[in-house]
Structure 1
Amino acid sequence: MAESCLKVWVERDGALLRLRLGRPKANIVDAAMIVALHAALREHRGRNTLRGVLLDAEGPHFSFGASVEEHLPGNCAQMLASLHALLIELVEFPAPVLVAVRGQCLGGGLELAMAGGPIFATADAQLGQPEIKLGVFAPAASVLLPYRVNQAMAEDLLFSGRSINGAEAQACGLVHVVAADPEAAALSYFEQHLQDRSAAALACALAAARGAMLPAVRQRLADVERLYLDRLMRTQDANEGLAAFMAKRQPSWTHK
């Protein structure tokens, strides 16, 4: 059930919404998780006392990423549309979204984190977009990474598929704070910088700060969806890479 994969509660007298991915150890961002996250954000969007959201995860890892099975031909169009709708909801949410990361934060999991606000991570967390290793690319990360890091670093991560640790991610701007306890660090940030602010002012500040970003993200997500579905998924290598992953074997590229 969608409800069982996400824990949702409100604390601090309605000031802080807590969202916790609740399907360890992988915390896969699949259709059920996307539905649960979207429902929680929509339900609490109108809460006029909300000054922040903390998104974290149960277990040793934030998320291994999206469901590869749901990205196979026949399913990927719906999966991309629903994931991108969720990411837009996060980008335009009227309260700051803090994200606490431990362990692996990969693929769709990192895209989810980047759609929020500041990321708090352990020094040994692993953040990356490994999609290229499967013969595909990361649509949402292609849009969101350049807002977090410079273009050269974004391309490095997207083209290589490598992961970087929390310390390197902080150095390049992807991670805001490195801490042994990222949830505690995020809560401390909330208490020091958001809890005593006006929720109405924060909502306006978010709209102002992201005024140019929001329409650009919407348009670019639509563009990369079309590129993924109309061009990439017609290549032999994309289908080979996904099939090889499912069969737990090495892919054999034709470069077509």
Structure 2
Amino acid sequence: MSENFDFIRLQIENGVGRITLARPPLNILHIPMMREMARALDRCMGCHEMVAIVFAAAPECRAFSAGVAVEDHKAETVYQMLDSFHNLFRLMEQMAKPTIAVVDGAALGGGFELVLGCDVVIASERARFGQPEIKLGVFPPIAAILLPRIIGEKRARELILTGDLIDSLEAFRLGVINHLVPSDQLQAKTEEVLDKLRELSAPALEATRRALDAARERTLEAALSAVEDIYLNELMKTHDAHEGIAAFLEKRKPQWRHR
């Protein structure tokens, strides 16, 4: 079963929902694209026999995703941007279906956060990861919650505070990637993982994922509420947050006033 979208592709077959990011060249996640992704997740939520959702980039794209559109971080759209982006993670937690990210290229900013939100990550040697938001005078809310849980507090803080990128080998060593394979073996490895899930009960997989989420010290929803409050009511009231976004869009170096 398939459905037409402008910026993504959705295919549901054989117990798997495949959401393909198709906004070349870099799969920049703007608000309309993120809302399409939410529609696709809603569609998957109604398929009780579904054992997994796979996120991947279309072949014509050079990156898994280079992140959320910088122009959507501006004051007039930042609320809609955060709501549209964070809604994806709320939906994934709500439906509790196993999620897989297939990464062949860069996953930066919101693209990296989408990877962090998935249960299994299959990546090629060409994959690159990072949270460069700090260089724009902002921070990544989802990564602030999930990255320390995945790779540990100290390394996560360094990556988020510096905006440094890591290659696929470092990501594998840190536990961001489950399977690191050559680009031409990505599809085969993905099908291998999916075949294992297809042998299992869809309700059992959902219950298990809910149990894993419940076992965390703080739910994603509770953490998101706290982080969003800081982002919208503290960060976005500073001069530097708006200056960083404006400088990027105007292709100039930001002039920080530290206020």
- Tell me, yes or no, whether TM beats 0.5: yes
Distance 2:104 2:95 in 1: 23
Distance 1:95 1:29 in 2: 22
- The superposition leaves residues 221-253 of structure 1 with CA deviations (integer Å, 9 ceiling, x where unpaired) of 111111111111111211111111010001111
Q: Structure 1 length as normaliser, TM-score?
A: 0.94
Q: Is the 8 A contact 2:125 2:180 kept in 1?
A: yes
How many pairs were matched up?
Answer: 252
Cα distance, 1:183 vs structure 2: 3.5
- The superposition leaves residues 30-62 of structure 1 with CA deviations (integer Å, 9 ceiling, x where unpaired) of 111111111111112121211111110112210
Cα distance, 1:143 vs structure 2: 0.9
1:187 equivalenced with 2:191 (yes/no) = yes
Gaps of 5+ in 2: none
Q: Over the residues paired in the alignment, what is the CA RMSD in angstroms?
A: 1.5
Cα distance, 1:202 vs structure 2: 0.8
Q: Which amino acid aligns with 2:68?
A: A
Distance 1:20 1:9 in 2: 8
In structure 2, the partner of 1:197 is: 200
Cα distance, 1:215 vs structure 2: 5.5
Q: Which amino acid aligns with 2:16?
A: L
In structure 1, the partner of 2:102 is: 100
Distance 1:214 1:199 in 2: 25
Matches within 5 A, 1:20-169: 20-58=20-58, 59-169=61-171
What percentage of aligned pairs have identical amino acids? 34
Cα distance, 1:87 vs structure 2: 1.2
Q: Which amino acid aligns with 1:203?
A: E
Distance 2:9 2:73 in 1: 25
Distance 2:205 2:76 in 1: 41
Of 219, 232, 236, 2:235 maps to: 232
Q: Is the 8 A contact 1:91 1:116 kept in 2?
A: no
Cα distance, 1:214 vs structure 2: 9.1
Query: Residue 19 of structure 1 aligns to a residue in which SS?
Result: strand
Gaps of 5+ in 1: none
- The superposition leaves residues 199-225 of structure 1 with CA deviations (integer Å, 9 ceiling, x where unpaired) of 111111111111134962111111111
1:16 equivalenced with 2:16 (yes/no) = yes
Distance 2:101 2:51 in 1: 14
Matches within 5 A, 1:169-180: 169-180=171-182
Cα distance, 1:22 vs structure 2: 0.8
Q: Which amino acid aligns with 2:246?
A: A
